[in-house]
Chain A
Amino acid sequence: MKYAYYPGCVAKSSAPELHSSTALVAEKLGIELAELTAASCCGAGVVNEGDPFLNLALNARTFAMAEDMGLDILTICSTCQGVMSQVKWQLDKDSALFARTNGALAKINMEYKGKVKIKHLLWALIEDLGLSKVEQQVVKPLKDLKIAPFYGCYVLRPAEVLQFEDHEKPTSLEQLITILGGEPVHYEGETKCCGFPILFVQRETAFKMAVTCLKNAKRKDADFMVTPCPLCHISLDIYQAKASKRTQVNVDLPLMHLSQMVGLALGVEPEKLGFSKHMVSMARVLRVL
């Protein structure tokens, strides 16, 4: 299995542990990652508000690059996935827009052919590799650990754009957690918002959103939360202490990136997975294992 790998911006700067743990997991599972080094930022939905057409063009350029490599794109960030799925959906259903976008790409000698698929690592594990294959490679099952899946927004909604699972009753993270040996816990907020998109604009509101999700998971005795999005990780891990302090709700719930959780179960040494880079300590969880 080989993909055109699109790590996104945050995995290369504020969440480097995501990028490094992804590489280790890919190695274990025999997934080859050919990085799209010249791909631009996906825009995170923000460029779309600055200039919608530019947003389409920049992402179509990334699509074209992957098509030139003859590979589908693998993302490790829900936001990148959400943005790119929307761009692809818009272009694929509107032939005039498709043509206009290619008109812009033509000026830099590129062409989006409409063939590339874009998948999140979570989806690739389920759809392409198959969970049974992953299960076969589990050497350190996440036994006795209650794990709170945090889907967030962009990897679920709008369901007709993402075309993967039912946003009302998603099961991908639960399925993954289960075959990795952990116990998924359900809680109010697992499909709600972490607050990141308004963290720098409406800080108070963002903190309240984050804390609500975290405390609900904590109430269900979750040992840690897992998220497929590094932006959610910033809001829920990096800013957890500040959010707790501001809302006066103590949480202390560590968060893993998806790849860290998979890596752990597949036997990658915890030190290599970059937990020390988190703000909220993973020590208690690692002691259980």
Chain B
Amino acid sequence: METKEAVFRVLRFNPERDEKPSYQTFHVKIDKRMTVLDALEDIKHDQDASLTFRRSCRSGICGSCAMKINRLAKLACKTRATTEVDKHGQVLVEPMENMPLIRDLVADMAEFWRETERAIPWLVWDESLTSSLKENLLTNEQQQASGKLADCIMCGACFSDCISRVFDKNFTGPASLAKIHRFVADPRDKQGAKRVHGLVEMGLWSCTHCYFCWSQCPRDVRPVAAISELRTLSFGSLDPSQGARHVEAFMDSVKSKGMLNEASLYLKTMRWNMFRDFDLILKMAAKGKAPSPFPQAIPKIDEVRSLFRLIKEMKEK
């Protein structure tokens, strides 16, 4: 097979020798089938035995080889070297973000594991069934949502690339919330919706929907969608958090005016905190940008209100 030479810039850090990480350049012959993992193995065996990284299954299932490749977290065994070279000119390889560094491309995943194991990370099953030889009856449709979330291989890519996590260590992270939802959505779980309690403290409302976790997940788990669904569920539990108030205020606004009544949305969400922005509100008013506290409803608002009412009725049935 035809080969070409590619430039790999790899982050190196040996805690026994180095004060801080640095980059080392390797030249590797790649063909159109090789993955970044194949190239790393070639480097390790032919050029530098000290290059350190985790890997095991080489088929995208075990999750060992998650690392940042050209600045985004991916599985090295499922990332084609030529694709990276064609797109970015070189292959920049770094350890996962949001985790302390152990050595080279090996990140310390202890925090990640701690977060994903915070909130009852097992099915709370009906133990009266212990000696029963009958399975729970469950259709494929009923377990579809859980199944998708259970595809998670705990590779850490979503946690690595989570922007909120960079700035907010209280945010438990996408994988953790996706795992919680995996159980919430499982009809066999006895905890069920009770799992939603305590999620606010874990940062349920810290997710910004940047969609990096959706983009970078090698198993298409879509943690951000699970987070949205958990938020929806959290209303049922009379959650008075700012995040929940924001959603309710938004809904009210759309229902009454069709468009966003930003003034009331802001007030209802922020409440007394609005005084922090009083100066800003004044400046905006001076520029003619302050949202009117009495906006007009859109034409045909009755259609919008009908949809609100109809869908509420459909749910109640």
Contact = CB atoms under 8 A, between A and B. Distances in A.
Chains A and B in contact, CB within 8 Å:
yes
Interface of A: 9-10, 12-16, 37-41, 43-54, 57-58, 61, 104-105, 107-108, 110, 153-154, 156-159, 166-169, 192-193, 195-198, 200-202, 204-206, 208-209, 212, 238-239, 242, 276-277, 279
A58 B255 CA distance: 10
Given A49-B247, A53-B315, 9 more contacts: A9-B259, A40-B258, A41-B259, A49-B228, A50-B250, A201-B243, A201-B269, A202-B206, A212-B167
A169 B295 CA distance: 40
B232 A40 contact: no
A65 to B, nearest CB: 9
B314 A104 contact: yes
Contacts of A276: 287
B219 to A, nearest CB: 14
Interface of B: 70, 72, 87-88, 163-164, 167-168, 205-212, 214-215, 228-229, 231-232, 235, 242-243, 246-248, 250-251, 253-254, 258-260, 262, 266, 269-270, 277, 280, 283-284, 287-292, 295, 298-300, 303-304, 306-308, 310-311, 314-315
Given A104-B307, A107-B306, A157 B289 contact: no
26 contacts: A10-B260, A13-B262, A13-B295, A39-B298, A40-B259, A41-B259, A46-B250, A49-B231, A49-B232, A50-B232, A51-B232, A53-B315, A54-B311, A104-B307, A107-B307, A108-B306, A108-B307, A192-B210, A193-B164, A198-B205, A200-B266, A202-B206, A204-B168, A205-B206, A209-B208, A277-B289
B289 A16 contact: yes
Contacts of A279: 280, 283
A238 B87 contact: no
Given A41-B259, A153-B211, A47 B254 contact: yes
Contact of A200 (B231, B235, B246): B246
A200 B242 contact: yes
Given A15-B289, A48-B228, A166-B87, A198 B262 contact: no
A50 to B, nearest CB: 4
A37 to B, nearest CB: 6
A239 B298 CA distance: 28
Most buried by B among A52, A196, A205: A205
B211 A157 contact: yes
Contacts of A40: 254, 258-259, 298, 304
Given A153-B209, A200-B242, A238-B284, A52 B232 contact: yes
Given A9-B260, A14-B289, A46 B246 contact: yes
The binding surface of chain B is classed by DSSP as helix
A16 B284 contact: no
Given A14-B262, A107-B306, A279-B283, A157 B212 contact: yes
B251 A198 contact: no
Given A40-B258, A169-B87, A158 B231 contact: no
Contacts of A209: 163, 167, 208
B251 A50 contact: yes
B88 to A, nearest CB: 7
A201 B247 CA distance: 11
B70 A168 contact: yes
B178 to A, nearest CB: 15
A9 to B, nearest CB: 4
A9 B262 contact: yes
B168 A12 contact: no
